[in-house]
Amino acid sequence: MNFGCTGGAELVIDSTGFSIAGNRPRPFLSAVKVLRRVVLEDVVNVEQHGTAVRLAVRESDTTSIVQILALDELDAEHIVSRLPTTKTGSFVPEMAERAQFSRSLQEVSPKTPTTYALLIINIAVFILCAVLGAGVIRPNPQLMVKLGTNFTPLTLDGQWWRLLTSMFLHFGLLHLSFNMLALYVNGTVAERIFGSLRYSVIYLAAGISGSVASLLWHSQANAAGASGAIFGVLGAMIAFFLRNEAGVPRSVVKSQLNSAGVFVLYNLMMGASSQGIDNAAHLGGLSGGFFVGFLLSRPLQADRVEKDWTRQWLIAVSAIAAASLGMIFLIAHKANPAIRNFGGVKLGTPIDQLIKAKGQPITRGGSAYVYNSVDSRHNGVITVLVTSEKEGRVRAVLYDGDRESAPPEIPYLHGLSKDEVVTRYAPIRGSQRSDNGYVWIYFVGGVEVSIQNGVVVSYGAFDIAQ
């Protein structure tokens, strides 16, 4: 039974059952309203964990798990008091197994200093950036680039330190808050499972893997945040429970894998439906964390610190080094981030070669040659701007039209606000305002946009060498 409500939901409990009303997000679509009713006779195994209430609902041949997040612990206690106390036969043993697992975690790693240190560092860096003018609610993307985001053109130009520094930078308070909550919830468990040193290696390796994946996937991106590293922490825990060499009870393994899987899949689905979420970094971090976590897993035994793990470390370091060389190879063969082709036209092409390749334009005015972007049946045109009739080379290519006809080299930008496009492609190389109210903005990576009334009306690429 999947309620999947986010952003707050209404829970009503009466003498025969309870109802939940709220909104469920859908990838690429608007949220759908949800109204579900559960009969109290079908509710079993109610338990409370802080502000969370977890229960099982028996439906014909299956049993579904429902989790309700209350406003506070008192509210959670009130919800539990209104629900049945019935427990199934397997519930008590499973509770005992979970309790034993929790005790084992406390025994092997009673403290989690690395997680708290990471929380403090991320929050401190955010405050420092805000003081310097990077913004609290609305970020300043150009300043964020200067402070060390993973900005594709600069990272590929030799500023490799951005792969690391970007892990500790966040675009606004909301971005920071979501990541720090996820880090606290998952990091404290992962640090107890692996130990502080191994956990630190996993976190950094996963974060850098996420940064590399983002760099390789996007031709132009201004990325930052701890989410790649946090996904890596989840990946490492998934690897640990899949190996299960520590004799963790089956019910605990199943519960932990389900929780981690739901978290990962839900966030990837949300990322797929939002332009501002970097799923490449999430998948890269998840893969890197799983890889290193698999290598560094060890049993949850109190005497594990007394054992010799030299062989495991040698294997892990060798494997990480080999993976790093593979990443370096991929990065070294990534094309120059500056855009050279757009809409079937190569920047710098002489006019005679342009006409030979594209044919005669549908209209021509001075230094502008206008072509259908796909064919006459589609709504979209490519405007090719040349340096001059005398020099005759393509200096810019712009697109104006609908999404269906848009060239693939640059994501569709029509309708985005100035702030949205600046956040994506900053820093700005230059800008100018025309007499008819248009504002032209030129970005370092070669992207050019035309803005009117605060939104993008055309966009494309310009030759940064000219």
pLDDT band at residue 320 under the 50/70/90 scheme: very high
Residues 159 and 292 in one domain: yes
Burial class for 8, CB neighbours closer than 10 Å (0-12, 13-18, 19+): exposed
Residues 122 and 256 in one domain: yes
Structure tokens that stand for 17 in this block = 């059952």
Among residues 55, 88, 121, which one ends one of the domains?
A: 88
Helices (H), 333-400: 351-358
CATH number of the domain encompassing residue 36: 2.30.29.30
Residues 304 and 352 in one domain: no
In a domain, 407, yes or no: yes
* Pairing outcome for strands 222-223 and 447-452: unpaired
pLDDT for 24 beyond 70: no
In a domain, 103, yes or no: no
Q: Which of these is catalytic: 211, 282, 287, 373?
A: 282
414-425, pLDDT tens digit by residue?
A: 988 888 888 777
282 among known catalytic residues? yes
**Cα–chain center distance at 218:** 13
pTM to 2 decimals?
0.65
Residues 303 and 359 in one domain: no
What number of H helices and E strands is found in the chain? 14, 18
In contact, 397 and 345? CB cutoff 8 Å: yes
112-143, pLDDT tens digit by residue?
A: 999 999 999 999 999 999 999 988 988 888 78
Domain hosting 413: range is 341-462
In contact, 425 and 415? CB cutoff 8 Å: no
Residues 322 and 449 in one domain: no
pLDDT for 2 beyond 50: no
Task: Determine the angle formed by the axes of helices 227-243 and 279-296, rounding to 10 degrees.
Answer: 40
Helix (H) or strand (E) holding 194: helix 173-194
Residues 267 and 129 in one domain: yes
88-97, pLDDT tens digit by residue?
A: 766 666 666 6
Residues 12 and 60 in one domain: yes
405 among known catalytic residues? no
Residues 328 and 353 in one domain: no
Q: Which residues of 155-188 are buried (b: 16+ CB within 10 A; e: fewer)?
A: bbeeeeebbebbbbbbbbeebbebbbebbeebbb
Q: Which residues of 352-372 are buried (b: 16+ CB within 10 A; e: fewer)?
A: eebeeebeebeeeeebebebb
In a domain, 47, yes or no: yes
Q: Enter the DSSP assignment of 39.
A: E
pLDDT band at residue 245 under the 50/70/90 scheme: low
Residues 114 and 80 in one domain: no
Q: Which of these is catalytic: 109, 219, 227, 255?
A: 227
Residues 308 and 438 in one domain: no
Residues 363 and 439 in one domain: yes
d(CA 287, CA 236): 9
| Count of domains forming the chain | 3
Among residues 290, 309, 332, which one ends one of the domains?
A: 332
Helix (H) or strand (E) holding 227: helix 227-243
Residues 354 and 312 in one domain: no
CATH number of the domain encompassing residue 204: 1.20.1540.10
In a domain, 102, yes or no: no
Helix (H) or strand (E) holding 210: helix 196-217
